[in-house]
Amino acid sequence: MLLAFNALMAERNVTRAAKRVGLTQQGMSGQLARMRDLFSDRLFLRQAGGVVPTPRAEALFPSVQIALSALEKVVSAPSFDPATSDGLVTIAASDYAIALLLPGLLQLIQKQAPSFRVVVRPVETGSLAGRMREEGIDLALTVREFAPPSLQSRILFKDRYVGVVRAGHPLAGKAVSLDDFCASPHLLVSPFRGDASGPTDHTLAAIGRTRMVGLVVPGFSVVGSLLEQTDLMAVLPERLLTVMHRDLWTFETPIPVPGFELEAIWPERLNADPAHIWIRDLIVEASRMHHVLQ
């Protein structure tokens, strides 16, 4: 009704006003009848070539324009300009995802949005959907098994596991047998509960074997230093080694350990948010920058 009133004030002609708002002439006449009833005034009087507003319509016009302007702001898509934004995104990520993606992501953010801020929190066990709702986490970089189907996602890359020892390890440069593999003391990364088992142990259990886990650590950041200074063996994501910069030797595990896919995961409520779309696109671009995306 407000649009019809505004069109009549602008066009001063029922036919042209109807066309302006996508109504038939009959539809516009119906809108005018309802307006007259609502305001107890004729509002627009017929004259040669069109209509003329009454004093009541003239008085209403400024308020109608204000109302339409406010309504347009409510229904229009929110705008986002990275160059002027001082917004904040909260990302839940493991140190593995941080090591591979965060440097490139921050480079892109600093170029496009120098005042934009990033907060990184650890990925933890429990309901990721609940944490996103209650703790204000906007996006998570993790594997699908930690996210319910209700969350939106995009696969960023795949990774596979390889065996790793220091370059001077007694087994370095040799074909590592299954017996050698199981007998060697292993370093295991267990970021959530500190369990002394992981994908490698599940794979070995399927063939009735076990390995000796000599050390369990909560994250990947200390792994390179520990391997370089001890005779521990580890089974690590291959891509992690590209940013570890240590004197290590890698080998194919004697039994293949299933790999995984890292995903960007977010709540549906942010699916169409311009700032969130922008940060998701930057994460994908950061993957490409470092030849991670497949």
Segment 163-209, tens digit of pLDDT = 999 999 999 999 999 999 999 999 999 887 667 788 999 999 999 99
Q: Provide mean pLDDT across the span 40-46.
A: 91
Residue 82: predicted pLDDT: 92
Residue 125: predicted pLDDT: 64
Segment 134-166, tens digit of pLDDT = 888 999 998 877 777 888 999 999 999 999 999
Model-wide pTM > 0.75? no
**Which structural domains are found in the chain, ordered by start?**
2-75 (1.10.10.10), 88-157+263-289 (3.40.190.10), 161-258 (3.40.190.10)
Whether 292 shows a pLDDT value over 70: the answer reads no
> How would you write the chain as a 3-class SS string?
CHHHHHHHHHHCCHHHHHHHHCCCHHHHHHHHHHHHHHHCCCCEEEECCEEEECHHHHHHHHHHHHHHHHHHHHHCCCCCCCCCCCCEEEEEECHHHHHHHHHHHHHHHHHHCCCCEEEEECCCCCCHHHHHHHCCCCEEEEEHHHCCCCCEEEEEEEECEEEEEECCCCCCCCCCCHHHHHHCEEEEECCCCCCCCCHHHHHHHCCCCCCEEEEEECCCCCHHHHHHHCCCEEEEEHHHHHHCCCCEEEECCCCCCCCEEEEEEECHHHCCCHHHHHHHHHHHHHHHHCCCCC
Q: Provide mean pLDDT across the span 221-239.
A: 96
Q: Provide mean pLDDT across the span 119-143.
A: 85
Residue 78 pLDDT level (bands cut at 50, 70, 90): low
Whether 87 shows a pLDDT value over 70: the answer reads yes
